[in-house]
Amino acid sequence: MANQHQHEKAPMPTAQHDHGACCGTDHVAVARSDPTDSASCCAPAAHAHPDSGSVESAAPNTFRISTMDCTVEESEIRSAVEPIPGIRGLHFRLPQRTLRIDGTDEAVTAALIAIRRAGFAPEAVTASAGPEATDHGSHDHASGTGTSYARFAAALMFAMVAEGISFFAPETMAWKAVGMAVAALAIGLAGLETYAKGLIALRHGKLNINALMSVAVTGAFVIGQWPEAAMVMALYAIAELIEQRAVDRARNAIKGLVDLAPDDAEIQQPDGSWRRIKATEVALDSVARVKPGERVAFDGIVTKGNSSINQAPVTGESIPVDKEPGSSVFAGTINENGELEFRVTAASSNSTLARIIHAVEEAQGTRAPTQRFVDRFAAIYTPAVFVMALGVAVVPPLLLDWAWLTAIYKALVLLVIACPCALVISTPVTVVSGLAAAARRGILIKGGTYLEDARLIKAVAVDKTGTLTEGKPKLVASRAWGQAEEARVRRWAKSLAARSDHPVSKAIAAGIDGAAGDVDRFAALLGRGVEGMVDGKAMVLGNHRLIRERNQSDAQLDAELIAHEKQGRTVTLLADNTGVLGLFAVADTIKLTSVAAVAHLKQLGVTPVMLTGDNTATAQAVAQEANIADARGGLLPEDKLTAIQDMRKRYGPTAMAGDGINDAPALAQADIGFAMGGAGTDTAMEAADIVIMNDNLGRIAETIELSRRTHAILWQNISLALAIKAVFFVLAVAGSATMWMAVFADMGASLLVVANGLRLLRRVKTGQVQPAAPNTALNHR
């Protein structure tokens, strides 16, 4: 695991990555590539929903290329366009067959000329065309699948007729001519697209599967093996179509989430009536209504009604969550029983569900370490086998007295074996399946690198508040200090606390009756508290560290704080320039799932360590309840960074799990950062590599298990693909393998590795440790 990866983290899971060889085609991204650009060797990716937040139809300089449906064509276009000065980025959307060019006007014009020279016909997509225009390619592929099956079935039938003529017809020129005509018809039905793409690849010096098959089939036809040439092309076309469908299943695994959000919703009109309108036409702050059994169309805040909602599509939670006025609801979730009215807080294209889908699509476009290795290997493997095939065709007849036709035939078989499809396709399908399986469990992984690297984790630094504990403390005790007036102290404290989003501040504000006053010059003091002007006085509301730094602590105050800390409480102090004015104690409870999550991590050989800004006594109390041996309290954000570095030296690769703003630096510093997304801040979620949508700490152990399983399947696939290649290479040289056998072996291996990778889509197995109920009230950091 690379410790320096945190420097590469971006706010969103963009794909700054290199594209390696696909079917022997080497291509390198100029800038962020579209998430669908690396689905398979030669298979189109999944359909991108127009509401998923990833549609680029309205972007300028977007062009539709009807013959671009595979990463092979993408690579050809990249090779032609990337060298042009002024090109800043290329953004491909293979399902829609569109390309957006980011560059100067002169560079875009030159790029279009280069694309046309490469054999493609780009057509401009106007901004007014809408999602339907860029989505046209997906419909073309979907509607053309049935036609392709019929055409390829006809090709297979004609290939079988050609084989029959070869075996049973008299050895006359007339029958031979008929057989060749039937074989040519079969090749034409099955292979016109292969030939067209193969010629483009050969013209640019690329050895992809289309080029290899074109050469092999043509060579076999020329040397008189026309029945076999027809059968090979027909079998290849059918196997390729089946492979595309299998790969689409992996790509479409996350697409099922798209369909969860309804297309319309009941919206309250200005006159108080209700009308069902399209979700895309609903404005923010509109009031929507969802009846029992219906799906929620938007993210929002409940304004009226009580119900329970099944949030599994978003958070992975199996138990419905109770909702009341003030509760959050998410698009795509299911209203179980009562009717709810809620205020829309996000457009349908920017809902939590849409952002999950977009993030997973982005992650699917990244290159995992194993995938980069395989791509580099394939870029060497294909040319090497091609050179060996030439050697087999030329050297043995000259040196070993082989017949020329025999040597050429063996060389053609080697060309078919040279296709690295099974090898190249094994990694993206497996990684995509793993990412989709994680998303179904409420685990949002921002790239294949993190999916693979999670298996290496040896220690997890866990934040206390909101991660181990519920993060919902309550005010349990308060008092004025010194000569301060109780009522004024409580109002001042509430005024400052109400301006902060920290759980402790929220608990104080909620626990004090009355209205909050105005606050001027409000500011957060990270790891310490807040400050501001209340009633013209400069005041702070913070922890004991802040008071000590202000030299406002004394023995009496210290004794009071120790008494509260022994009860598992966190104490917040109000002070002005004259001294401490009040004391406020809050308490939190440990999550029901935390004890089981810690036990599960230990079962996997991962050491949990608790890091918190709370005092040491409180930290030890929470750690004891969660069965964590190593607990470190009183840490500022920079102290957590030091702790992460120390854990790396002591344990090895280290992850960090947290949810607050002060966790963001440590999340970025760790080898892998886990943000507890349900209650986490946007800052923490952006800094993290993996987001746990439902705040269940047990998902970390599940991620590690999924990572280990993904890594195992990756290497199973690589070993299987290479073993099959090696066996048929030996058989081909020995003269025991035919071309159609080589095609069966190659495409069969591709289907096997795809099917093996798809196993990750099965339900993720979780640990058997049952959660234990906590028996004490614990406090907040």
Looking only at the bridges linking them, the beta strands covering 672-676 and 690-692 are parallel
Q: What's the DSSP call for residue 44?
A: -
Backbone angles phi, psi at 579, to 5 degrees: 150, -170
The residues annotated as belonging to the active site are: 463
Contact 522, 532 (CB under 8 A): yes
Burial class (CB in 10 A: 0-12, 13-18, 19+), 123: exposed
Q: Are 301 and 344 in contact (CB under 8 A)?
A: no
**Cβ neighbours for 640, distance < 8 A, ≥ 6 positions apart:** 461, 611, 656, 662, 663, 665, 666
Give dist(CA 441, CA 699) in Å, integer.
8
Torsion of CA 391, 717, 450, 606, to 10 degrees: -130
Continuous segment of H or E residues that includes residue 511: helix 503-511
- Give the separation between CA 266 and CA 275, rounded to whole angstroms: 5
Sequence-separated (6 or more) residues with CB below 8 Å from residue 264: 276, 277, 278, 279, 297
Q: Cite the beta strand spans of 187-337 per DSSP E.
A: 264-268, 274-278, 287-290, 300-304, 307-310, 321-323, 328-329, 334-335
Identify residue 431 by its one-letter amino acid code: V
> In a 10 Å sphere around its CB, with 0-12 CB exposed, 13-18 middle and 19+ buried, how is residue 766 labelled?
middle
Pairs from 202-205 (Cβ < 8 Å, separation ≥ 24): 203/119, 204/76, 204/79, 204/80, 204/118
The phi, psi pair for 710, rounded to 5°, reads -60, -45
Paired sense of beta strands 654-658 and 459-463, if any: parallel
Q: Which residue has the tokens 């309840």?
A: 625
Alpha carbons 75 and 21: distance in angstroms, whole number? 9
> CA dist 295 to 266, 315, 439, Å?
11, 15, 19
Residue with tokens 């079962």: 603
DSSP state of 671: S
Q: Determine how many CB atoms are found less than 10 A away from the CB of residue 652.
A: 14
Q: Which two tokens stand for residue 745?
A: 């072996």
Under a CB-based contact definition with an 8 Å cutoff, are residues 637 and 669 in contact?
no
Residues 6 or more apart in contact with residue 439 via CB below 8 angstroms = 254, 257, 356, 360, 445
Cross-strand bridge partners of residue 582:
480, 574
